[in-house]
Structure 1
Amino acid sequence: MKQGGVTIRIPFRKAKEERKSTVDVAERIALEEQVDIEDESGAEQEIEQEILQEVEHEALQEAEQEVIPKGPVLQVQEVHRSFETGGRAIHVLKGINMEVQPQQLVMLKGRSGSGKTTLLNMLGGLDQPTSGEIYFDGRAFHEAGDAARTRMRRQEIGFIFQAYALMPLLSAWENVELSLRMAGVPKGEWNQRVAYCLEMVGLTKRAKHRPFELSGGEQQRVAIAKAIAHRPKLLLADEPTAELDSKMGAQIMAVFQKIIATEEVSICMTTHDPTILEVADHVYEMVDGKFIT
């Protein structure tokens, strides 16, 4: 740098310090004329390398987070259920172990009296095991009190029954709306959600009809819309195709597959119909209160 006709050389270390502390472009250019270009290039490359490593590290962390598997929605460990009748104990369930993973369709296959409906009731918190453990979404369902189980049922679990369980004097729309009311969903969300659920099961044009004006298959589809309206994590269905012919039964299973994909829900259902087993992700066969392989 020249001052009064005399060339003043700035020591290398001082030049670097000044380069870091100044933001004036002209002064930086003057300093760069006295500093070794190779050193400057090396510093820039070092900074770029540090930035690249940091970006790669953040990307790796995000990727690791994405591949962390979710735990099971339901986990059953050594569950037994006995009833006292006539002075003696009747063992209905005998050491049940099972899991339902996220977005799975799991079927409990068995004849009437095999214990599958009793098990389904316990999975939904309607009954408690005599011994053993049931975990719903990582929480100890078997230890929860009545109020806690009721709250989880209303907000996080949907039920579909063989006999449809619809309110006879309410329309299809009103039956689905009732589910939202019971779950405590804000009223401002009801119309959009009810319309969406009825559309999903193909009943938009039948929304104002009451149950006695609908076929069996249509009533079951209303029951499905009602069960998913409050966005549950789990659907429990007791023989949902038992009262339907094979064609209607296939339609119900197609609806189940659709809502698993769109609503990201898991389904556990009982059945004795061998024609629908092929669509299941897993089938547990029950005989006399036990699973057989």
Structure 2
Amino acid sequence: MTDKIAYSRHDDIVVLRIENPPVNALSQAVRQGLAEGMDRAEAEEGVRAVMIVGEGRAFIAGADITEFGKPPMEPHLPNLCNRIEASPLLVVASMHGVSLGGGLEVALSAHYRIAQPTARVGLPEVHLGLIPGAGGTQRLPRLIGVEPALDAITTGRHIKAPQALEMGIVDRVEEGDPQEVGLAYVRELLDSGAERRPICDMPAPAPIDWDAAYEATLKKGRGQISPAEDVRAVLRRRRHIDVALPVLALQFVGPRERHLEQVGLGVDRRVERIRPSQRGVKQVEQTAAGMEGDGLRSLGPEPDPEPGAEVGGLA
């Protein structure tokens, strides 16, 4: 395992503690360590549950900005989230500080979530002109319903733990040491016979007027495309998550081209540098496959891929 994840066993519960100061960003070493920790826990005899917790100031604050502009490295975040969610063990996320972007997506891949009263969660990618790419647009609507999920995703706002509890994003709010209260919660779940609760298995919520939601969000965004594209991404909630993850990406023109190049969006098989032009870029041919941009692809009329099909290096 990598040195960014501390592995410890407490009777039949394994704790995976993220140690990547200052805010436990989702670096490649963190992603790899979590994947290896899950493998090890599942291989050990007598383990019934895994708890994921962060050391220091936060659970997971999001992507590691030091990796922006570099080739994406495995394990990619969508695959890691699917790996956690599919575990035969009970998986619990114990959250404190902030759980933002990919941090919340990791928490949503767990089967239960407990948070400190001062914790905050959110999917703020919209403020960067991006959309959540590791399942946030698919899992959150299944968990709390379409309209509250759309509000959270298209505004990118931080949600305090008490409100997150009311919305159903977290299952319990309790003060104390994140590891200690988390372990107590896991023990309670095991003793009560609680079963795994993968969000991907939850039914799709009732439909809404998608055209109206898209137009209203586009108007409210005052020309910013990403909030409206969030609506399109959430629309795909009715499909299997593996199909919905390669979601619609964005058009970048003018200053957005430079932003795209700064973020270093690319795919495993081909990385294209987008150079500004007087007319602007009409279409992004390739987008991120790694970190929080993982799972995005180009705008276009092409049909959705079949489950298991490779898109941008993802299967």
User: Which category of TM-score, normalised to the shorter sequence, fits these structures?
Assistant: under 0.3
**Normalized per residue, which structure has more strand?**
1
TM superposition score normalised by structure 2? 0.26
Larger radius of gyration, structure 1 or 2? 1
**Normalized per residue, which structure has more helix?**
1
TM superposition score normalised by structure 1? 0.28
Relative contact order, higher structure (CA 8 A, sep 6+): 1
